[in-house]
Structure 1
Amino acid sequence: MEFSGSVGGGGATLSEMYQSARRLLLSARDGVSRVERLSSAPTSSSYSSSVPLVGGGAAGVQAAAEEVRREVAQIQTLCAQMDRLWRSIPAKGQRDLWKRKVEQLSEEVDSLKETLDRNSLHQQKRILEAKERAELFERANGESSHVLRIFDDEAQAMQSARSSSRMLEEAYETGVAILHKYADQRDRLKSAQRKALDVLNTVGLSNF
C-alpha cells in the first residue's frame, strides 16, 4: 500500500510528489539528449568553410541546458521534501521501500546533472579550440575578423550558462537547508512534547 502522508497536512502526498519527480526526470533525460545533439551538430555559417565549425551553436545549447537545469533543480527540491516525508512513515517496510525509491531517484538526477556538466565543459573546450584555429587561420589568410567575434560571443554564452547553473545550485542548497531546519524544529518539538507527557505520567496528571 502506498504511503499517503502529505506536506504540512494539506500539500502533495509522497506518492504524488514521487510521480511528479519521475515525470520531470523523463523530461530532463530528453533535454539532455537534445543538448547532446545540438552540441555535436555542425552549424551552417556564412564564413569560410576552411574555418572549423563549432557544434550546435552556444545560444541553442545554452537554452536547452538551462531548461534541463531548471528541471533538475525542481527534482532535487522534491527529493529533499520526500526525504523528510519517508522518515515519518510508521511502518518499517514502507519506510525502507520509500527510502530506496527516493535514493534511487536522487542518484538518477545526480547522474543527469553530471552528464550535463560534462557536456558544458566539452562544449566550452570545443569553442576555445575552434577560436584558436580561427586565429591561426586569420593570421595565415588576413581575413575573417568577424569569425573571432562569433567565437567570443559563443564563449560568453557558455560562461553565462555556467553562472546560471551556479545560481540554481545555490538556490537549491538554500531550499534544502530551510527544509532540514524545519524538520529539525518539528523533531525537537515532538521530543519536547514526549518529555512533557513523560513528566505528566510520572506525577499522575496525564489525564488532566
Structure 2
Amino acid sequence: MEIPLQNRLKKKAHVELASLQDEAVEIIYSLFPKIVFHGGTCIWRCYGGNRFSEDLDFYLAGENFEEGSLRQALEGRGLSLVKFKKTANLIFAKISSPEAQIRLEINLSTKKEGLLRPYEKAGGAVMEVLCLPAEELLMEKLSAYENRRLVRDLYDVCHLSRIANVHEKEAGKIKKFLQNPPKPIDEKNLKAIVYMGAVPTYEQMLEMLRGRFA
C-alpha cells in the first residue's frame, strides 16, 4: 500500500501547501473542466515526481475566466483570492487558506490539448485532470532551464526524460543542449525540495541525460 503524499513530505509547510493546492485544483476544474494543467506541480502530482512544487499553472484558451466566479467558489470553501490580475493573455492570482498561500497562473492565449491523468492528492486519493503530455512538458522544462538556469527545471527534465516518448526532434534538442549545458545558479536549493530518494548533483543529472541521448 502506497504511503499518502502528506506522510511522505518532510515539512509541515509543504503539507499545508499541498492541501491548499488540492482544494484549488478541485475548484478550478469544477469551473473549467477543459483547463489543461502543466508546470512543476503537474509533474509532481500527475507524473510521479519527487520534487515539491508550489505554483499551479494552466492553459485555458477560448474561454472567459471571470474573477467573480473564482472568488465565490473559493470563499465557499473558506479560501481567499488575495490577488487577481488579468491581461489579454494571462491570469495571475494568489489563493490563500489560514495556513498557506499559492500562486496561480493561467495562460489564456495558447491552445493546448490535455491528456487525462490521475492527480495524487495529499491524503492519498486521486482525481482525474487534464495534463499536458509528458513530451511537451519535457520541452517546456528544457526551455525553462535554458532561460533561467534553475536546478529544479533540470531535475524535471531528467525525470520526464525517463517517462516521455521522446521522438527524434525532441532528442535533437536535448543533444544540442548537452553540447554546452549551463550550470544552475541555485544547485544547493535542490535538497530542500526533493523529499524522497537521492538528490542528484548537476554532474550526475548530465551524466544520466548523456547516457540516454548521446
TM-score bin, normalised by smaller chain:
under 0.3
Which structure shows the higher helix fraction?
1
TM-score (structure 1 length as normaliser): 0.25
Which structure shows the higher strand fraction?
2
Q: Which protein has the larger Cα radius of gyration, Structure 1 or Structure 2?
A: 1
TM-score (structure 2 length as normaliser): 0.24
